[in-house]
Amino acid sequence: MIHVASIAKRYEHWMAKYGRVYKENDEKVMRFNIFKENGEFIESFNSAGTRPYKLGINEFADMRNEEFRASRNGYKRSSHKNSSKATSFKYENVTTLPSSEIERSSVAAVEGIHQLKTDKLISLFEQELVDCDTKDNEGCDGGSALLKAVANQLVSAAIDASGSAFQFYK
């Protein structure tokens, strides 16, 4: 546990480093308490040693995780389940519109690669890719498919950036 006096000094240095100025003292006190809680979370996370990466104090250290998510995560999952089916356009004739956002990402990438290689746009289903892949893929348990893909073509990926570990990732 860090002493309040030393964390207050760290907080003042942090404020100077990131140019934080609060109009009201109440807000400064509230942000200090958040900073302190986040520091304790980071210290606990790092000392547990259960992850191959570390967290650190950064420009988001005075923000609650909800504030961080609201300010940094621009992607919002559609509230309309069928909204993507209502529009059938082609983005520069490279890929078809995915029918279900993140889940169709890899299929859209394969469709795009096929379009670039053959100049023919096709529409695939996830199961079609699994059914057609019969050689040395090691199923869902690994292999070097991603390494091979990155070396040869575009790759689509998504990560969940909403957690506190991502907020303070070093």
6-17 pLDDT, tens digit each: 999 999 999 999
Whole-number pLDDT of residue 98: 46
Angle CA 115–146–120, to nearest 5: 5
- Average pLDDT of span 99-109: 62
150 inside domain: yes
pLDDT of 150 higher than 60: yes
Q: What is the phi/psi pair of residue 95, to 5°? A: -150, 160
Report the greatest alpha carbon distance in the chain.
66
Alpha-carbon span 162 to 170, nearest angstrom:
15
Tell me how many domains the chain contains: 2
Shared-domain flag, residues 113 and 139: yes
Q: Which of 13, 33, 62 is the last residue of a domain?
A: 62
Shared-domain flag, residues 86 and 21: no
118 inside domain: yes
Residue 46 structural domain: 4-62
Shared-domain flag, residues 154 and 89: yes
3-class DSSP state for residue 116? helix
- Tell me the CA distances in angstroms from 34 to 62, 122, 126, one per residue in order: 5, 51, 43
Shared-domain flag, residues 93 and 40: no
31 inside domain: yes
Torsion sign (Cα): 106, 112, 115, 116: negative
Torsion sign (Cα): 28, 18, 51, 44: negative
- What confidence tens digit (pLDDT) does each residue in 48-81 have? 999 999 999 999 999 999 999 888 766 555 554 5
Residue 27: CATH number of its domain: 1.10.287.2250
Shared-domain flag, residues 84 and 155: yes
Residues in the chain: 170
Shared-domain flag, residues 52 and 105: no
Provide the pLDDT confidence category of residue 102 given band limits of 50, 70 and 90: very low
**Closest Cα partner for 121 from 130, 112, 108, 129?**
112
**Token reading at 112:** 């795009």
